A = this chain, B = another copy of it.
Amino acid sequence: MNNHKITGVFSAAATPLNADGSPDIGLFTEHCQRLLAEGCHGVALLGTTGEANSFSSSERRTILEAALKAGVPADKLLPGTGVVAIAETVELTRHAISLGVTKVVMLPPFYYKGVSDDGLLAAYSQILEGVGDNRLQVILYHIPQVSGIPLSVPLIGRLIEAFPDTVVGIKESAGDFNNMQAIIAAYPGFSVLAGADPLLLPLLKAGGAGCITATSNLVAGSLRTVYDKVHNAEQTAAVDQAQARINAYRTLSNSYVQIPTIKAMVGLKTGNAAWTRTRAPLMPISDADYAGLSEAYAKLP
């Protein structure tokens, strides 16, 4: 077994909206509680699927505070706190810690592209020194197809060396299994979490720590089955079946624009069409796509 500091199935929770575009706090906290009830070890709110970067700093604080106020335990919340400006990442991270939320998922500054590892090391160092709290545990966020900023294996090593008690894991959302294996091989004990659902099972077999994924908004129970039973030789069929179910949901969500489709599918799951709303620049899926999605959704395992 391993000694991962952070391990489990975490949901990259979507954020429902009111008709005026504001976050629907009641529906969101209900969603968080359902995710935990279905088996998630925690909720990674305010990430890419959660449209965090489309919310203002004050809205982000409100959403996190609302989850706590609704009774979601602080140690089950892993908010995204990485924004473009270092000073604001420090503020959001300190705010989380002030509420007892000590685990965060952190994007690097993502405006400038092609920046050096030295520059990214300096940025993360200034953030972590600026927060200056040894309770903090950071999951780095590698999602170059969106952020434009890959986090290289050597950079990860330099961050672990500089902040061994703080930099404890990475969400690998490039979906690059070779990269995941390289990180695991290079840094034993460092938590590699899959950002793409189909990789949960192979990643766990390869020594990974779990996942933070979008499809968990829909099939958290199946993800949990894979996580709990992966090393049980008598449960291979159940594990494979769970992973196949996850993959079917993932394939359908990725048949359209992913994030709006995940939200629409949560709406289909819960019978609440308010879930289809998105924030610009993301747009709800078209009526035609919604009709096709609904039909396909009804046939999922």
The quantity of this chain's copies bound in the complex is 2
Which B residues touch A280, using CB under 8 A? 86, 109, 119-120, 122-123, 126
Of the candidates B21, B54, B57, B259, the one whose C-beta lies within 8 Å of that of A109 is: B54
Partner among B48, B86, B110, B279 whose Cβ is within 8 Å of the Cβ of A86: B279
Q: B85 near A53 (CB under 8 angstroms)?
A: yes
Closest to A259 in B: B112
Interface string of A51-92 (1 = CB under 8 A from B): 001111101000000000000000000000001111110010
Q: Does A118 contact B (CB under 8 A)?
A: yes
- Interface assignment of A111: CB less than 8 Å from any CB of chain B: yes
Which size bracket describes the interface of A in this complex?
35 or more
Question: Chain B residues near A84 (CB, 8 Å)?
Answer: 53-54, 83-84
Residues 119-150 of chain A: 1 if any B CB is under 8 Å from the residue's CB, otherwise 0?
A: 11011001000000000000000000111100
Bound complex: CA A57 to CA B48 (Å) = 22
CB pair A113–B59 under 8 Å, yes or no, is no
A48 contacts across to B, CB distance below 8 A: 111
Q: Is the CB of B281 within 8 A of A123?
A: yes
Whether the Cβ atoms of B115 and A282 lie closer than 8 Å is yes
Report yes or no: A111 in contact with B110, Cβ–Cβ below 8 A: yes
B-side contacts of A37, CB under 8 Å: none
Contact A283 B87 (CB under 8 A): no
Interface flags, A148-163, vs B, CB<8A=1, else 0:
1000000000000000
- Is residue A210 within 8 Å, beta carbon to beta carbon, of the partner chain? no
Q: Which residues of A contact B (CB under 8 A)?
A: 21, 48, 53-57, 59, 83-88, 91, 108-113, 115-116, 118-120, 122-123, 126, 145-148, 259, 279-283
